[in-house]
Amino acid sequence: MNTLTSLTRSHFDPHSLNKDATLMASGNGYLGIRATLEEDYTHQTRGMFCAGFYHRAGEQETTELVNLPDVVGMQITLDGEPFSLLSGTLLSSRRELRYDCGELRRELVWLSPNGQRFAIESRRFLSARRLSCFAQQLSITPLSGPATITVTTGIDATQTNVGRQHLDEAQVRVFDRAHMQGIYATQDGAHQLTISSHCRVGDGAVTHFTAKNRRLTQCSSATVEKGQSFNLEKISWIAAWLDGSGQNNDISADGLRHLRDALGQGYDALLAESAASWTTFWTRSRVEVASDSPDDQQALDFALYHLFAMTPCHDARASIAAKGLTGEGYKGHVFWDTEVFLLPFFLVTRPGVARQLLRYRWYNLPGARQKAIQYGYQGALFPWESARSGDEETPAFAAINIRTGVRQRVASALAEHHLVADIAWAVVNYYQATQDGEFMAREGLDLLRETALFWMSRTVEVNGRLELHDVIGPDEYTEHVNNNAFTNYMAHYNVAQALAWLREWQLCDAAFESRAEDFLARLWLPQPDEQGVLAQDDTFMEKPSIDLTRYQARAGSQAILLDYSRAEVNEMQILKQADVVMLTYMLPGCFTPQQMAANLAFYQPRTIHDSSLSKAIHGIVAARCHDAASAYRFWHEGTQIDLGDDPHSCDDGIHAAATGAIWLGAVQGFAGLRLHDGALSLDPCLPSHWHEMQFPLVWHGQPLRIRLTHDAVAVTARSTLSLTLWGKQVVITGQHIFYRRDFFTGKAGSGTTEGAA
Amino acid sequence: MNTLTSLTRSHFDPHSLNKDATLMASGNGYLGIRATLEEDYTHQTRGMFCAGFYHRAGEQETTELVNLPDVVGMQITLDGEPFSLLSGTLLSSRRELRYDCGELRRELVWLSPNGQRFAIESRRFLSARRLSCFAQQLSITPLSGPATITVTTGIDATQTNVGRQHLDEAQVRVFDRAHMQGIYATQDGAHQLTISSHCRVGDGAVTHFTAKNRRLTQCSSATVEKGQSFNLEKISWIAAWLDGSGQNNDISADGLRHLRDALGQGYDALLAESAASWTTFWTRSRVEVASDSPDDQQALDFALYHLFAMTPCHDARASIAAKGLTGEGYKGHVFWDTEVFLLPFFLVTRPGVARQLLRYRWYNLPGARQKAIQYGYQGALFPWESARSGDEETPAFAAINIRTGVRQRVASALAEHHLVADIAWAVVNYYQATQDGEFMAREGLDLLRETALFWMSRTVEVNGRLELHDVIGPDEYTEHVNNNAFTNYMAHYNVAQALAWLREWQLCDAAFESRAEDFLARLWLPQPDEQGVLAQDDTFMEKPSIDLTRYQARAGSQAILLDYSRAEVNEMQILKQADVVMLTYMLPGCFTPQQMAANLAFYQPRTIHDSSLSKAIHGIVAARCHDAASAYRFWHEGTQIDLGDDPHSCDDGIHAAATGAIWLGAVQGFAGLRLHDGALSLDPCLPSHWHEMQFPLVWHGQPLRIRLTHDAVAVTARSTLSLTLWGKQVVITGQHIFYRRDFFTGKAGSGTTEGAA
C-alpha cells in the first residue's frame, strides 16, 4: 500500500470552521463527533450524533437525529486571557486528521493579546474498537514565562438541534470526586443516554466541579513554568440505550465501569487498539491510485474514511443518514442514497454490512406496508425519508416560497416512489455478489415480493397499457409527471426480478405470477428516439429549455430557485440531476453504448447538477462510454462537493452519498466494475494521468485483488474465478495479468502468473 | 428637574457583553429585550422575555420564563467581510441608553480587515406606549469607497433557555412579500406568541426571504457609494396570548394589523409617543440629588429606569421576576423580593401598581392553600418561588455539592416561610399608604387572614410556649433552625395585624380571635441581651465564628462555598445577610435606636453580604442610627452590585431587588421616610456630599413633593397633610420649609411658604 494520506489545515479560517468540523469529524458508525475546535466561536456548530438516536421535539416538528451533549468544548484561559484565535496572533497552526488511525491532531503557537506565547497541542479520537469511547488530550506550554492555565470542560447538555430540545437531564453526578456523569432521556422517554467523563490533570492542578444550567464541568487550574506543560487527558464513555433498553439496567454503573476500564488503558493504548481496527478496514477496502495529481488519492482516502465513520455496522435497526453522523442536515434521515450510493461499496468490501443495511429495510416493512395502505396501494411503499421506526419522516413543508410567502408542501413523500425499486435493485445486487441464499430466502424475497406488489398496484391503465402517473423521479426539479422513464424501467426491473427469484425459490404463487406477467407485458417502457435519446417523461420534450450555464457554474447551490419558482422550474427542461443518465447507470443492460452516449450528451446542457448525487453518475456513464476525460472531470468535480473551495460546502454535514460516489466513480467508473446479471465484469477506462489503480474486492465470498494500468489488469484470486474482462469471459485461479492488447487482437483469456500484486 | 442621566459605554469589551446586555436592556413591563449587539459573539446571550410567559420544558425541569425568539440580531456583511468587533479595528465606539426615552443608541467607526472604513449607527427602543412594539434602525456608511452591504435579520426561533426548548413553531409566513410573521406555542399549548416583523430598506436594495431551521429572515443587499448610507428600519410587533387567549382569535391577522399601524407611524413618531410615557414616569417618581459624586444620580436614574422596565403594570396575574425581564437568571421566578424591595417604590409613586402586585398574590391564594395542606398546615403557605400558576416552582435540587458529588436539595421551599409574613407586611403598608378600603375589604383581609392562619398552625408547643421550629430566615446560610428571630417577630406581626384589621372591619369570628390572642400571648419572641443584641436563632450564639474579611471582599460571589460545604457553613456564625438587621428594618417600632445600632455592629463582622439584598438594608438601618457615612458606604456598595466593575456582575439579568434597594436606600435611608403605624414620617440623614435631594410621593392619594438639604425639609402638598418630621408631628397645607434647627430648639411645627419646590 502507498502511505495513507491525511487531511491537513495549516491556516485558521473562521469562515470554514463548520466545513472543517464536518470534513475532519470523528466517527465509528456508532457515534459521530464533529471536529469543532476546543474553544467556542460564534458560528461554530458542535455536534455529536449516535446512529438510531432519533427524537421528535414536538407535534409540528420532524423526527431528527439528536445533537447530543457536547464533550469536545474546552474553555481555556491563559493568564487571565480567554484563548481565542480571533484575538492575539496565531504564529503557527496545523490540524491533521489521520486516516490511518482516525486521530485528529492540532498544534499551534499563539501570541496572546498581553504578549505571551503559548504552544497548544490537542489530540482526539473516537475508538474504532470500543464504540462508546472518545479520548482527548490537551497540552499547553507557556513559552514566554510562567503562566496560570485554566481549562474548563465537561458535559454540555445545552446543545440543541438549532433550538429544538430533545433531551431532559435525568441525573447529573460527580462520582468519587473524579468522574462526571450525565444521564439524559429523550423527552418521549424512548431513548436514554449516559455520558461519563473523566479529566486527568497534573498533580499541581486545582480542580472543582460545577453543575449548572445543563452544564456539568470540571475546572482545572495550575501555574506552569515556562517550557513546562499543562496536560489534560479526558476520556469519555458515551452510551446510548435505545428503545427503552436502558430502563431495566443500571446504566449509571455500566457507564462508570466502562469509563474506569478505559481509564486503566490510557490514551495511547486506547489509540493503538483503535488503530488496529482501522488497519483492518484499510486492508480490506482501500483504493490506491498512482496519479499525477495527489488530490485523487486524497479524495479516495477521504471518502473511505467517512464510509467507515458513517456506517452503523453494529445495529441492523440503523442505517446511514444522508449526512452520516457528521451534522444535523437532512435531520439524520435515511434516503435512497444508502442503497444506490453507499451499499455498493460494502457489497464488495464487507458484504455483511451490505446485508445489514438491507435488513434495516426489511425490519421496516411494517411501516412501508402501512404507508402503501394509507395511499391505497398494496405491498411496501417505503418512506422517502426514514429514521428508526420505518414511518414516513419527510417534513410536510419545505422552505418558504419567496414569491408567495407561503411554505410549500414537500412532494417527495407523496410521489417519489422510485426508492421502492432502488431497494429491490440493491437486494438483487446483494445476492448476485454474495450468493447469500439464507438472506435471499427470507429478507431478500420478502423485499422483492412486497416491492413488486407495490408497483403492480401503482399503475393506471390507458388504452390497454399500464402507465405510472404522477411520480417524481430522482430529478426533483420535475414533479408530478407521467411515465417517468427512470421510474417505469426500474418498476419493470423490480417486478421482473421478483418474479424470477420467486420462481427460482419456487415460492411464486399463481396469482402473483399471472399478475406479474401481465404487468411486465403491458407496462409502458418509453423507447429511445432515432438518436437514442429517451424522454425523461411524457411531457418533458415539449417543455422549453433555457441556457443553464451560469447555474451550472454554481452547481449545488440551487441558485435557480432565487430566480424562478419551483412551479416555473417544473415547466422547463431544467434538471437537478438527469434521470435517464441515472437509469443507464442503474440498468446498463437495457441500453446500447450509443444510447448511453446520446442521453449523456442530450441531458448534460439541461442539467444543473444541483443534486450532490448527479456528477458522479454522469462520470461513471462517461467512463462506460470510454470518454476518460469527461469521466475524470465529472468525478473530480464530484470530489469537490465536500472537499472543494466553498467554505460552507458541508457546514451541516458530509454529503454521504457523494463520498460513496467517489468510490463508485473510481471502481465502477475507471475500473469499469459491473455486477450485471450475476457476473463480475471489468472494463477499465483509467484517466490518462492515472498510471495504476488497485483495490481489494470480495466476490461470492472470495477475496480478490485487482490491479490496473492502462495496458493491463492483474487479478489475484484464491480459488477459481470467472469474470468478464473487456467484454470477454476469462477464468483464473491464483494471480494473473491480462494485457489489453491481447483482448483486441484475439488472444483473450491468456494470463501470466506473477508475484504478489 | 436636573437633566436625566444616561448609561454610556465608549469601549468594546467582549468580557462585559452580557453585563451590558442586561444593564442596557429595553423594557416596558410587558416585554424585556436584552441589549445585545446586532452581530453575534460566542458568549453573548440574546434574550427577550414577556411577563407571565412561563413554561416547563420537561418533567425533570423547572418552570421558567421563556427566552423568546430573537429579533435583535443582524448579520452584517461589508464588502464580503462579516462585521465583528473581534476582527478589524474599532476606530471609535459609543453606546448610550437614554433613560429619558428608553432609546439605546450605538455609533462606531470600524476599519475592516480589508482596509475599508465604515460608520455604523443603530438605534432601538421598546415602546412604553404600544407594549408590543419594538423598533430598530440601522445605518451603515462606507467611508473609504463604494461597498456592498448585506444585512440579514428577521425572527430567530433557535433561542432556548440554555438548551431547554419551550416553543414549537406553529406557523411561519411572509405576507405581501414584506411582513415576516412567526407564530409559536409553548409545548404544553398553554401560551401562544406572534412576532410580526418588517424591514424597510432603501429602493436600491435587493431583498429575499428565507425560512429555515427555525429562522425566518430577510436578507437585504445593496451597493452604496462612499458617504452614502444603507438604511434599514425594522419594526416588530410581539404579542403574547397567555392561558389560551389566542385560541379563539385570529392572532395572525391581529399581529399584521398592529404591525401595519406601527409602520404607518414610523420610527421617529413611535419614539416620540413612547418618550411621552417615559416623561410621565419620571415626573411621578424621579429622585434627584445634588451630589459631589455624579455616580449617585446615575445610580438612582439607572434603578428607576429598570423599575419601570421590569414591572408588569398591565397584568395583575404577573409579578416582578428576580431578574426582571432582562435575563434567564432565577428562571424568571417571583420571590419575596417583590413585596419587600420593589413594592415600596410603587407604593408611594404609583399605588395602583402596588395594588396589582398584591393582587398577584391574592389570585394565587389557591396554590398557597394547597401548599399549606400539602405540608400539614392551614391558611396560605405561599410558594417560595412563584411563576404564573401560584404553584411552588422552587427547583428541588441546587448545584452539585463539590465534596460529595451529589446535588443538594433546595430547602427554601420546605422551610423559608417568612415570605408569608412579608406579604402580610406589604398588605398593611399598602393600606396605610393608600387608605384603599376597597382593596382591604376583599384582597387585603383575605391575605391577612390566610397568612395568619398559616402561622397559627405552624407552631409547636414547648413547655407551654409556642415556638417556630425548623425554619430558614432570610439568611440562607443558616438552615433548619428553631425560633429564627426574624421569622418569629414577623409571624407575630402578621397575626397581630390580621387580628387588628379583621376587628376593624368587624369580620373577625370568635374562633379566629381567641386563637390569635392565644398565639400572640404565647409565641416566643426572643429578647435582646443586655447589649441590645438579639440572637438570630436558638443555637446561633453557640456556633463558632471565623474571620470573614476575605469573603466580604468578594461579597456576592459565594466564594465561601468553595472552601466550606453548606453543612459546615450552617454550623458557623456565617451569614449571607443579617436577619436581625433586616428585622430592625422591617419592624423599626419594636427596637430602640440603641438596639438597632448594637445589632448592626454585632452582625456586620459575621455577614458576608453574599445576598444582593443585604447591603442596602444595612445602609438604611445605619441611616436610621444616624451614621450617614456607613449608610452611604453600604448604599454605594449596593449600587455596585449591578453597576460595579465586575464584568460579569449581572450576566443573567439585573438584580431586581438591588435596583429597588437603590431607591429604598435613598428614600427610606437618607430621607428617612417611614410608613410606620400608618403615619408618614421623615428623619433625614443625608450623606455629607449630598447637598440636596428631592422626590415626589403619593400619600393617601395626595401627590407630595419633598426637598431636603442638610438643614431643611421642604414639603409641598395640595391639601392638609400630617406627618412626623424629626420625630415630631407637623401639619401642613401647600408648601412649607422646615428647618432642622427649629426641631432641636423647640420651634418645631413652624414652616415657611415658598415658591415651587
Tens digits of residue pLDDT in B112-166: 988 999 999 999 999 999 999 999 999 999 999 999 999 999 999 999 999 889 9
Q: What is the mean pLDDT of residues A345-354?
A: 97
Q: Which of A288, A394, A335, A326 is nearest to A657 (CA)?
A: A335
Do A143 and A191 belong to one domain? yes
Do A371 and A502 belong to one domain? yes
The pLDDT value given to residue A402: 53
Judged by CB atoms closer than 8 Å, whether chains meet at B60 and A170 is answered as: yes
Grid cell in block for residue A343: 451499499
Indicate the range of A218-222, B468-472, B750-754 predicted with least confidence: B750-754
Indicate the residue of B165, B209, B212 with minimum beta-carbon distance to A165.
B165
Judged by CB atoms closer than 8 Å, whether chains meet at A214 and B162 is answered as: yes
Which amino acid is it at B667?
A: V
Q: Are B74 and B39 in contact (CB under 8 A)?
A: yes
In a domain, A695, yes or no: no
Q: What is the mean pLDDT of residues B245-253?
A: 90
The pLDDT value given to residue A59: 77
Active site residue A392: no
One-letter-per-residue 3-state SS of B388-419? CCCCCCCCCEEEECCCCCCEEECCHHHHCCHH
pLDDT range class, residue B14, cuts 50, 70, 90: confident
Grid cell in block for residue A530: 432515432
The contacts found for A712-716 with CB under 8 angstroms, 24 or more apart, are A712/A737, A712/A738, A712/A739, A712/A740, A713/A682, A713/A684, A713/A737, A713/A738, A713/A740, A714/A738, A714/A754, A714/A757, A716/A756, A716/A757
Judged by CB atoms closer than 8 Å, whether chains meet at A400 and B164 is answered as: no
In a domain, A529, yes or no: yes
In a domain, A366, yes or no: yes
Do B685 and B674 belong to one domain? no
Selected residue of A152, A214, A330 to mutate for chain B interface (largest B Cβ count, 10 A): A214
**Tens digits of residue pLDDT in A141-160:** 999 999 999 999 999 999 99
The pLDDT value given to residue A684: 96
Query: pTM for the whole thing?
Result: 0.87
Those of residues 382-401 in B touching chain A at CB distance below 8 A are 399-400
Which residues from B are below 8 Å from A158, CB to CB?
160, 162-163
Q: Are B603 and B575 in contact (CB under 8 A)?
A: yes
- For chain A, what percent of residues have pLDDT higher than 70? 97
Distance of CA B3 to the CA centre of its chain: 24
CB contact B214 to A (< 8 Å): yes
Do B670 and B747 belong to one domain? no
Tell me: pLDDT of B574 over 80.
yes
DSSP E strand stretches across B177-258: 179-186, 192-201, 206-212, 215-224, 230-241
Last residue within a domain, chosen from B255, B283, B311: B283
pLDDT range class, residue B754, cuts 50, 70, 90: very low
The pLDDT value given to residue B150: 97
In a domain, B1, yes or no: no
Indicate the range of A428-437, B53-62, B412-421 predicted with least confidence: B53-62
CATH number at residue B499: 1.50.10.10
Selected residue of B44, B187, B206, B565 to mutate for chain A interface (largest A Cβ count, 10 A): B187
User: Which of A288, A392, A393, A476 is labelled catalytic?
Assistant: A476
Tell me: is residue A645 an annotated ligand-binding position. no
The pLDDT value given to residue B757: 34
Say which residue, B58 or A484, is predicted with more confidence.
Answer: A484
The pLDDT value given to residue A211: 86
Do A611 and A594 belong to one domain? yes
Q: Which of B415, B345, B420, B414 is nearest to B381 (CA)?
A: B420
Last residue within a domain, chosen from A679, A699, A732: A679
Tell me: is residue B615 an annotated ligand-binding position. no
Do B662 and B735 belong to one domain? no
In a domain, A107, yes or no: yes
For B290, residues 6+ apart whose C-beta sits below 8 A from its C-beta are B2, B690, B691, B692, B693
Do B111 and B254 belong to one domain? yes
Do B100 and B81 belong to one domain? yes
CATH number at residue B740: 2.60.420.10
Nearest residue in chain A measured CA to CA from B183: A60
Tell me: pLDDT of A409 over 90.
no
Last residue within a domain, chosen from A263, A283, A303: A283
Do A293 and A260 belong to one domain? no
**Tens digits of residue pLDDT in A30-45:** 999 999 999 999 889 9
Say which residue, A750 or A198, is predicted with more confidence.
Answer: A198
Do A367 and A255 belong to one domain? no
B665: left (phi over 0), alpha (psi -120 to 50) or beta: alpha
The pLDDT value given to residue B678: 76
The pLDDT value given to residue B677: 74
The pLDDT value given to residue B2: 85
CB contact B648 to A (< 8 Å): no
Judged by CB atoms closer than 8 Å, whether chains meet at B163 and A164 is answered as: no
**Tens digits of residue pLDDT in B516-550:** 999 999 999 999 999 999 999 999 999 999 999 99
Judged by CB atoms closer than 8 Å, whether chains meet at B168 and A405 is answered as: no
**Tens digits of residue pLDDT in A497-555:** 999 999 999 999 999 999 999 999 999 999 999 999 999 999 999 999 999 999 999 88
Do A515 and A662 belong to one domain? yes
SS3 percent helix, strand, coil of chain A, rounded to 5, is: 35, 25, 40
Tell me: is residue B543 an annotated ligand-binding position. no
Distance of CA A177 to the CA centre of its chain: 41
The pLDDT value given to residue B405: 61
Q: Average model confidence (pLDDT) for chain A?
A: 94
Distance CA A348, CA A481 (A): 36
Distance CA A334, CA B168 (A): 24
**Tens digits of residue pLDDT in A256-278:** 999 999 999 999 999 999 999 99
CATH number at residue B107: 2.70.98.40
Helix (H) or strand (E) holding A498: helix A485-504
Residue B644 Cα, gap to closest chain A Cα (Å): 19
Tell me: pLDDT of A60 over 90.
no
Q: What is the ipTM of this complex?
A: 0.77
Q: What is the mean pLDDT of residues A682-693?
A: 97
User: Residue A586 carries which DSSP code?
Assistant: H
User: Residue B670 carries which DSSP code?
Assistant: I
Which residues from A are below 8 Å from B198, CB to CB?
none
Which segment, A63-67, B78-82, B742-746, is predicted with the most confidence on average? Answer: A63-67
Q: Which of A619, A626, A535 is nearest to A585 (CA)?
A: A619
**Tens digits of residue pLDDT in A274-329:** 999 999 999 999 999 999 999 999 999 999 999 999 999 999 999 999 999 999 99
In a domain, A36, yes or no: yes
Total domains present in chain A: 2
Do B621 and B710 belong to one domain? no
Which residues from B are below 8 Å from A165, CB to CB?
57, 160, 163-165
**Tens digits of residue pLDDT in A598-620:** 999 999 999 999 998 899 999 99
Q: Are A575 and A540 in contact (CB under 8 A)?
A: no
The pLDDT value given to residue A662: 98
Q: Are B28 and B309 in contact (CB under 8 A)?
A: yes
Q: Average model confidence (pLDDT) for chain B?
A: 94
pLDDT range class, residue B411, cuts 50, 70, 90: confident
Residue span of the structural domain in which A155 resides: 7-283
Residue B141 Cα, gap to closest chain A Cα (Å): 24
**Tens digits of residue pLDDT in B475-510:** 999 999 999 999 999 999 999 999 999 999 999 999
The contacts found for A698-704 with CB under 8 angstroms, 24 or more apart, are A698/A284, A698/A348, A698/A349, A698/A350, A698/A351, A698/A433, A699/A348, A699/A433, A700/A433, A700/A434, A700/A435, A701/A351, A701/A434, A701/A435
B686: helix, strand or coil: coil
The pLDDT value given to residue B751: 47
CB contact B57 to A (< 8 Å): yes
In a domain, A734, yes or no: no
In a domain, A727, yes or no: no
